Amino acid sequence: MGLLWSMIVGAIIGAIAGAITDKGQSMGCFTRIAAGLIGSSVGQSLFGYWGPSLAGMALFPSILGAVIVIAVVSFFFGDR
């Protein structure tokens, strides 16, 4: 149950980050989950563990990390 909850929260974090970066329309469900989970790891490493948390992920650093991940990936693999 914990893995499923982490994937749901990761998808929500990825969707919020996609909306912030205007890349949300081109992202699929699995991409949102991956962006949320990877972004959570990056964000908590860079910004620490503060603010409210769900499924062991601090929301604000996770969203900031997901925005960074989406921006970097779209810079290298986006439309030119």
pLDDT per residue over 30-75, tens digit each? 888 888 889 889 988 988 888 888 888 888 999 999 999 888 888 8
Residue showing tokens 């990936």: 73
Q: Which pLDDT does position 36 carry in this prediction?
A: 86
In this predicted model, what pLDDT tens digit does every residue of 4-27 receive, in sequence order?
Answer: 888 888 889 888 888 888 876 777
Rounded to 5 degrees, what angle do the CA atoms 73, 60, 66 make? 10
Q: Provide the whole-model pTM.
A: 0.84
Question: Using CA atoms, how far apart are residues 57 and 40, in angstroms rounded to an integer?
Answer: 6
Question: Using CA atoms, how far apart are residues 4 and 71, in angstroms rounded to an integer?
Answer: 26
Residue 71 token pair: 């921006």
Main-chain dihedrals φ then ψ at residue 41, nearest 5 degrees:
-65, -45
